[in-house]
Structure 1
Amino acid sequence: MPHVREHTLDGTRGALAVREWPHPAPRFLALVVHGYGEHAGRYEELAGVLTGHGAAVYAPDHAGHGRSAGERVLIEDFEDVVTDVHTVAELARTARPGLPLVLVGHSMGGLITARYAQRYGDEPSALILSGPVIGAWELPERLLALEEIPDTPVSPAALSRDPAVGAAYAADPLVWHGPMKRPTVEAFARTLKTVAQDGDVGRLPLLWLHGEDDRLVPLPGSRIGVERLSGGALTERTFAGARHEVFHETCKAEVFAEVRGFLDRVLPR
């Protein structure tokens, strides 16, 4: 696995912990945007794939997640999180000016990445969305209709067919294993509407990866959002039997091959 550097930046809600997997002579920058309740450290294998393909990789722990400051899993405004991700992109571009920037967003990170592309559309060279929370995701409305949000954490079995992935997730002290918080659910609902209303990202190349057996973020709902976001430069790859985390799935070799092939097609040589 690649060497990791640690950075601490000033985020919108306090200290922002950032991992960097450096490359001695990168041809592009990759910014990994993690999902709800988890942290950037879970993407070490993906970082190895990206650095092996020529990237310098950066990944923040969002506010309230991992080693970053803030009440656990409390996100009152996703616009702040997008601003934090932009701060990390500035760190990367300052260290390696002039290189193409690729954003890789998983689940909630897909929502953040989509909003980033809408706000900073001239900066990324490509987007990769994995099981993105975008489009018609019904969970926020269901939870907000309840008087009290139930204490039902994410099921580790929903992540991957590989039982080791679920076991590691369940034992990870940096993962949140409690209930969702109402302000965060409200922020999800607002940002889903914002992304839906704010238009497409033009001809920005977009790779959409999704497990066909994803029960946390069902594929049909994401399709609505991805097709609305894409301005026509969309590559879609779905994986039969795969669950929510395709980067941790039993078919991950196939997933990583799709990522490498996409990067080769859309980035300058």
Structure 2
Amino acid sequence: MPHVREHTLDGTRGPVAVREWPHPAPRYLALVVHGYGEHAGRYDGLAAVLTGHGAAVYGPDHVGHGRSAGERVVIEDFEDVVTDVHRAADLARAAHPGLPLVLVGHSMGGLIAARYAQRYGVELSALILSGPVIGDWALPGRLLALPEIPDTPVSPAALSRDPAVGAAYAADPLVWHGPMKRPTLEAFARTLETVARSGDVGALPLLWLHGDDDRLVPLPGSRTGVARLAGGRATERIFPGARHEVFHETDKEEVFGEVLRFLDRTLPG
């Protein structure tokens, strides 16, 4: 497991825990934006690949997630989460000034990363979205129409074809294993609309990764959002048979290879 450091930032709604996977002499910075119900610590594998490629890697736990403050999985306003992620980027830049910054967002983190790129895209050198909640995602509207949110947690089997991934997820005490909460669903619906109407990211290089058997965030809905966000300029890589977490899939080495080739084409030097 890679060496890690822990930081705590003053977030918009309380203390935010930030995980750092350091590099002794990095040539770029990578900021990992995790998904719903999980935490940055689940990205050790991706961080090892990126540090091996020359990055110092940082990952905040969002409000209500992981080791950060807040009622579990309650996000009332994703704009606040974007601000918290920006503070984590400031932490990274203060330690390593002048380096290119790459933003990697998975699932809900893809929505946060997309909005970050709309607000702070001039500070980014590249954007990578994995199974992003962006575009047409029917789940919030479907659940909000019910009088009560059903107690249906994320199925570990939906994450990866590797059963060890689901087992580790199910046993992780920092992962939320309960139902979604109404304020978070309402915030999802608002932010999907905000991203849809807030324009594209211009010439910012964007890599979109998705499994074609993703049942949590179906591929067609994401495609609509990515096309709009990238202005038709995204590099896409769809993985046959892969489920929601391509960084934890049985063909993850192929996924990591796509990421590194994209960064080699994109980053200076």
TM-score (norm 1): 0.99
Aligned partner of 1:120 in structure 2 is 120
Aligned partner of 2:183 in structure 1 is 183
The two structures, once aligned, show a CA RMSD in angstroms of: 0.6
Mapping of residues 197-236 of structure 1, within 5 Å:
197-236=197-236
Taking the aligned partners of 1:223 and 1:53, their CA distance within structure 2 comes to 28
Taking the aligned partners of 1:158 and 1:115, their CA distance within structure 2 comes to 26
Amino acid at match of 2:15: A
Aligned partner of 1:15 in structure 2 is 15
Taking the aligned partners of 2:223 and 2:179, their CA distance within structure 1 comes to 27
The Cα shift of 1:232 comes to 4.2
Structure 1 contact 35–108 (Cα < 8 Å) conserved: yes
Mapping of residues 59-208 of structure 1, within 5 Å:
59-208=59-208
Q: Tell me the secondary structure at the aligned position of residue 120 of structure 1.
A: helix
Amino acid at match of 2:248: H
The Cα shift of 1:39 comes to 0.3
**Structure 2 stretches lacking a partner, 5+ long:** none
Amino acid at match of 1:37: G
Taking the aligned partners of 2:156 and 2:183, their CA distance within structure 1 comes to 24
Structure 2 contact 49–256 (Cα < 8 Å) conserved: yes
Taking the aligned partners of 1:121 and 1:232, their CA distance within structure 2 comes to 17
Structure 2 contact 162–250 (Cα < 8 Å) conserved: yes
1:206-264 per-position Cα deviation (integer Å, ceiling 9, x unaligned)? 00000000000000000000000003431100000000000000010000000000000
Q: Tell me the secondary structure at the aligned position of residue 122 of structure 1.
A: helix
Taking the aligned partners of 1:242 and 1:2, their CA distance within structure 2 comes to 26
Aligned partner of 2:254 in structure 1 is 254
Taking the aligned partners of 2:257 and 2:242, their CA distance within structure 1 comes to 16
Structure 1 contact 74–183 (Cα < 8 Å) conserved: yes
Taking the aligned partners of 1:47 and 1:188, their CA distance within structure 2 comes to 27
Structure 1 contact 203–232 (Cα < 8 Å) conserved: no
Amino acid at match of 1:16: V
Number of residue pairs matched? 269
TM-score (norm 2): 0.99
1:183-228 per-position Cα deviation (integer Å, ceiling 9, x unaligned)? 0000000000000000000010000000000000000000000000
Taking the aligned partners of 2:216 and 2:231, their CA distance within structure 1 comes to 26
Taking the aligned partners of 1:89 and 1:213, their CA distance within structure 2 comes to 32
Q: Which runs of 4+ in 1 moved over 4 A?
A: none
Structure 2 contact 227–233 (Cα < 8 Å) conserved: no
Taking the aligned partners of 1:233 and 1:73, their CA distance within structure 2 comes to 33
Taking the aligned partners of 2:136 and 2:180, their CA distance within structure 1 comes to 19
Q: Tell me the secondary structure at the aligned position of residue 105 of structure 2.
A: strand
1:268 aligns with 2:268: yes
